[in-house]
A and B are shown apart, each in its own frame.
Chain A
């Protein structure tokens, strides 16, 4: 499988995990979207740094070719899934009583 396929599969998995796997869905809450709105410019900036300077390069055959601020759209989707999953786990352990405060 290539980057474009894997990232879509991971996005679908992450969304399903959030909506149905964990009881505390973040995708339906303003806490998540407000946090993501703050993170997004930094995500674009750091992706831009890594890709515009060619620090990271991609085999053109494994990406769709769509780019946002120099970075493949796949990077943006990967970042979104990473953010959603980590926040979801954090909320999960919190509600389980692990270091709640």
Chain B
């Protein structure tokens, strides 16, 4: 592959890294985040949508911008790069896996209603 082709995956590579670095917890420690997808979506959609609205506003205002050479160039609505949309799906899931991973080792730290 040409170097410029590899470069286009620079942002995506960071998301893949985050997924690989966290999703093994689902199997190794049975954190059972992915199998509770309804609760995952209820938790992240309102938050991620809010942040994506801000993202759209900030991109439109030029508060931040992306190097065209280092993103795939696939855009969602409002010129939001697909990487940004994936960011708001993958990062929250990684976060929840970490939380549940810690809770697995420290069950007494869980909310009283969430203990088995």
A residues within 8 Å of B by Cβ?
2-3, 6, 24, 29-32, 34-35, 38-39, 42, 46, 49-50, 53-59, 62, 78, 82-83, 85-87, 89-95, 98-101
Contacts and interface: CB of A to CB of B under 8 A. Distances in A.
Interface of B: 10-11, 14, 17-18, 21, 32, 36, 38-40, 42-44, 46-47, 51, 54, 58, 61-67, 70-71, 91-92, 94-96, 98-99, 101-103, 106, 109-111, 113-114, 116
A58 B95 contact: no
16 contacts: A30-B109, A31-B106, A42-B18, A53-B70, A55-B71, A56-B11, A62-B64, A87-B95, A87-B96, A89-B42, A89-B44, A90-B43, A91-B111, A93-B39, A98-B42, A101-B32
B92 A93 contact: no
Contacts, number: 119
Majority SS of interface residues in chain B?
helix
Contacts of A29: 109
B44 A3 contact: no
Majority SS of interface residues in chain A?
helix
A49 B111 contact: no
Contacts of A39: 94-95, 98
A86 B32 contact: no
B39 A6 contact: no
